[in-house]
Amino acid sequence: MEQALSLAGLALGQVSPNPAVGAVIVKDGEVVGQGYTQPPGSAHAEVVALEQAGSAALGSTMYVTLEPCCHQGRTPPCTAAIVSAGIAEVHMAMLDPNPLVSGRGEEELRKHGMSTFVGDHEEESRQINEAYIKYITTNIPFVTAKFAMSLDGKIATRSGDSKWISNPESRRYVHSLRHISDAIIVGVNTVLADNPQLTCRCGERGGVIREQPLRVIADAKGRTPVTAQIFGVPGRALIALGEGVEPGIIEGYKNVNAEVVVLPSNEGLVDIGQLLKQLGQREITSVLVEGGGTLLGYMFDYGLVDKVVAFVAPVIIGGSEAETAVRGRGVEKIAEAVRLERVTVTECNGDVMVTGYVGGQ
């Protein structure tokens, strides 16, 4: 199963809105077939492994990180292929929470005389498909809040200078986060201050870049300049505007090939809850929120964050006017603070990366 999980990891960032799945087929103690989910419309992990195994699949054991599908989607059901190949046993890390499957795949295999086992390395499988699990059960994307800050919680100096607080190793990791995300969201203040590209540049390390993540700007008043880099690099851009933005401004964004959505405003900001719902309707399963402090503060205030990835650099910036990582209303009492669970701490060549899940998520 560990090998199947490693294979599943290779599919991350390539197969959304499908889950990232790995499968390994073993016979007489030897691996005879293995594979991972291919891009939407192509073969699922089980089918890739079965094709590699060929006739050796008869009487073998399959290890798969997610319950095989049993319904007709873009591709035929994997359970039919497994039954046809004559697999004897199927070990599943977890059942598929998709309402179209949700135990029916295992039932189908049992009905055809196979032995099935569920739960081996389930937690690891859930982590790989955390975005898929939330999306398929709620139609809302999984939201990761990412920020880099100084030891005293600042993301820029009082003059607005922010390059670079984190070190190159941390910034390279951020590109891997972008690689596995369907969309990246920033607020208009981040665009005005940093003029980011918001592209995934994993290829600089020899990696494979899929289609660039959708770049999303939350801009209630239409202050983003049409000359911003975000509109001039490969990939798609979407700008979420508040109601009342002048038609001429909207037309300007369309002229630079940006998609425009108009949403209600809340506390002077675009209603991010409504934005996430719209992204879910577009089969966006995962969102990486890269700031700034106003946007992140809003999202924490309204309970819209599932996961946090924070880089803490060993520098002190100081200054009462320096920008903090998370603004918004905040909480009145420590007991009301957002607390992270399942926390991991990793050293990144001097920086410290803290990763955790918002309590109850």
Are the beta carbons of 288 and 329 closer than 8 angstroms? no
Smallest CA-to-CA distance from 92 within 56, 121, 134 is with: 121
Tracing tokens 């060549």 back to the chain, one arrives at: 349
Strand (E) or helix (H) holding 181? none
- On whether the CB atoms of residues 117 and 89 are closer than 8 A, the answer is yes
Active site residue 251: no
Provide the strand spans (E) within the chain: 22-27, 30-36, 61-64, 89-92, 115-118, 142-150, 183-187, 214-219, 237-242, 259-263, 265-266, 269-270, 286-289, 307-313, 340-348, 351-358
- Within 13 Å, how many C-alpha atoms sit on residue 274's CB side? 15
Count of Cβ atoms closer than 10 Å to residue 326 Cβ: 25
Q: Is the dihedral angle over the CA atoms 320, 321, 323, 328 positive or is it negative?
A: positive
Neighbour count for residue 36 (Cβ, 10 Å): 25
Neighbouring-strand partners of residue 286: 142
From the candidates 2, 30, 46, 211, which is the catalytic residue?
A: 46
Cα dihedral sign, 41-94-61-77: negative
**Whole-number Å distance between alpha carbons of 22 and 6:** 7
Instruction: Tell me the one-letter amino acid at 239.
Output: I
CB 354 within 8 A of CB 312: yes
Q: How far apart are CA 129 and CA 93, in angstroms?
A: 12
Q: Which of 199, 158, 153 is nearest to 296 (CA)?
A: 153
Instruction: Count CB-CB contacts under 10 A for residue 248.
Output: 8
User: Which active-site residues does the annotation give?
Assistant: 46
